Amino acid sequence: MHTHQIITMSLIIILFFLPPFFYLTHSLPVCRDSCANVRIDYPFGIDDGCGSPLYRNMLNCSTTFAFPTTTSTSTSTSTTNTNTTTPTLTPTIGTSTTALFFQTPSGSYKVESIDYSSKTLTLYDPSMSTCTILQPHHDFLMSDIQSALIPPSPDTVFALVNCSIDSPVLNHYKSLCFNFSTHHSCDDLYATCTSFKIFQMLSNDTPPACCFTSYATLKFMSMNILDCTHYTSFYDVDKLKEEEKPLDWSYGIKLSYSLPDTGCDRCQRSGGTCGFDVETEGTLCICSSAFNSSRQCGGTQIAGAGGTQIAGRGGEGLFINLSLSVMFIMFLFLMF
C-alpha cells in the first residue's frame, strides 16, 4: 500500500471516531430520577434539560444542613490561691435534610408526593394555618403558566376564615363562596379546630364569617383585598365522610397536571429519558451522559440536511458535514 493511501485511510479512521470522542468531553449528567423519597418522572425534572420544557424550573431538589449548638463542659482545678475553670468542647455532628420543592412566585412549597397514575402532585405549605396551627396569613400565588398547566385540583378547597363583614366574598362576590359538603360548614372549623376557636371567642361566641372557595378567588384577589385574616386549604373533599371532623381532614394543596404528547413513551421504551435542549427547548431522548437522540435510543442519530447531528442537551452537539468531509478526502488523494 502506497504512503498516500495509508495517510488517507488514517484520516478516514480519525474522522469516523472523532464525533463520539469529541462529544464525551461535553458530556452532561444523566437526569436524576428521585429526590428524597419522591420519584421524578416525565413531565417533571430536577436537572435542567430533563422532563418537559413546559415544567422547566418548577421543581427544585434542595438539601439543607442543620448543626446543633456546640456544647461544652467545664473542669475545675483547685490550687492554694486560685480556682481555674477549663472549658472542654464536645464535638457535634450536623444533619442534612433533602426535600423536593415546587417553586411559585409566592414561595417554595414542599412536595409531599407525586401520583403519576392520577396525575396529581400534593404540596405542603408550612406557613399555612391548619386545624391545630395558626400562622400569619400570606398569599398563595402561582404564575399564569402554572395556573394553566398544573392548577389546584377540583377536590382542593380553600377556606377563608375570620372574614370581615365588609369582605367582597360576603357581598358583591358572594357567589365565589360555595358549600363543598352537606355535612360540613364553617361552624365546624370554629368549633373543632383549636387554632380557629380564638376567633369565635373574640367575637363574643358568635362565629365570624368564613368562605369556602377555589384557587381562582385567591388568584385574582389577595388576602388583604379579601379582608380575611387567615386561610387554610384541604384536599380530597369528595372523599370526606360525614363523621370526619376538620381535625382529620387532609390539609395541603393538591395540584392536577396534564401530560404533553411529545412521544415520550417511545423514548422510554427504548431505555431513554425524556428531556429537551436547554437552548432551543427542542425535544430530546436522553440515552446516556454521552449521547442524546431526537426520538429514541439504540444507536439512532438525528437526521439533518447534508449531515448527521449528535444531539446534546446543552446544545453542544457536534455537527459533521459529510459532503465537506468527502471533498477534503478527495483533495488529499490529489495532493498525494
pLDDT value, residue 186: 87
- CA 31, 33, 35, 41 dihedral sign is positive
**CA of 301: how far to CAs of 41, 194, 250, 315, 336, in Å?**
24, 62, 48, 15, 34
Q: Which of 74, 121, 106, 70 is nearest to 91 (CA)?
A: 70
DSSP-assigned letter for residue 299: S
- What is the average per-residue pLDDT within 281-292? 77
Give how far Cα 108 sits from Cα of 62, 141, 155, 166, Å. 11, 11, 22, 32
Section 261-280 average pLDDT = 87
φ/ψ (deg, to 5) at 93: -115, 125
pLDDT digits (tens, 9 = 90+) for 122-142: 999 888 999 999 988 788 999
Peptide linkage before 43 cis (omega within 30 of 0) = yes
Q: Check whether 8 has a pLDDT greater than 90.
A: no
pLDDT of 277 over the 60 cut = yes
Task: Please report which confidence band the pLDDT of residue 303 belongs to, taking 50, 70 and 90 as the band edges.
Answer: very low
pLDDT value at 308 more than 50: no
pLDDT category of residue 38 using cuts at 50, 70 and 90: very high
Identify the band that residue 33 occupies on the pLDDT scale cut at 50, 70 and 90. Answer: very high
Whether the predicted pLDDT of 21 surpasses 50: no
Report which of 57, 81, 65, 31 is spatially closest to residue 267, judged by C-alpha positions. 31
For position 243, what pLDDT does the model report?
Answer: 75
Estimate the share of the chain in helix, then strand, then coil, as percent rounded to the nearest 5.
25, 30, 45
What's the pLDDT at 160? Answer: 94
Mean residue pLDDT of the chain comes to: 78
Most confident of the following: 152-156, 176-180, 295-299 = 152-156
Lowest mean pLDDT of 81-90, 111-120, 138-147, 238-247, name the range. 81-90
Tell me which residue of 92, 90, 112 sits closest to 101, measured CA to CA.
Answer: 112
Residue 10's pLDDT is 58
pLDDT of residue 55: 96
175, 181 Cβ separation under 8 angstroms: no
202-224 mean pLDDT: 87
DSSP assigned state of 91: P
CA-based nearest residue to 128, from 231, 237, 247, 255: 231
Q: In the prediction, which pLDDT does 214 show?
A: 94
What local confidence, expressed as pLDDT, does residue 23 receive? 40
What is the C-alpha separation between 138 and 140, in angstroms, rounded? 7
All cell numbers assigned to 138: 400570606
DSSP states of 147-189: HHHSPBPTT-EEEEEEE-TT-GGGTTTGGG---S-SS--HHHH
The pLDDT of residue 213? 95
**In this structure, which amino acid lies at residue 307?**
G
For the chain, the C-alpha Rg in angstroms (whole number) is 31
Q: Tell me, what's the pLDDT at 227?
A: 92
pLDDT of residue 108 exceeding 90, the answer is yes
Q: Locate all alpha helices (DSSP H) within the chain, ordered by sequence.
A: 3-24, 144-149, 186-192, 197-202, 215-220, 223-226, 264-269, 322-335
pLDDT in tens, 41-97: 999 999 999 999 999 999 999 987 766 655 555 555 554 455 555 555 555 566 778
Output 220 or 329, whichever has higher pLDDT.
220
Contact 89, 72 (CB under 8 A): yes
pLDDT-derived band at 99 (thresholds 50, 70, 90) equals very high
Task: Spell out the domain ranges in the chain.
Answer: 3-30+260-335, 120-256
Cβ(205)–Cβ(141) below 8 Å? no
pLDDT-derived band of residue 4, with 50, 70 and 90 as boundaries?
A: low
pLDDT of residue 159: 94
pTM as predicted? 0.73
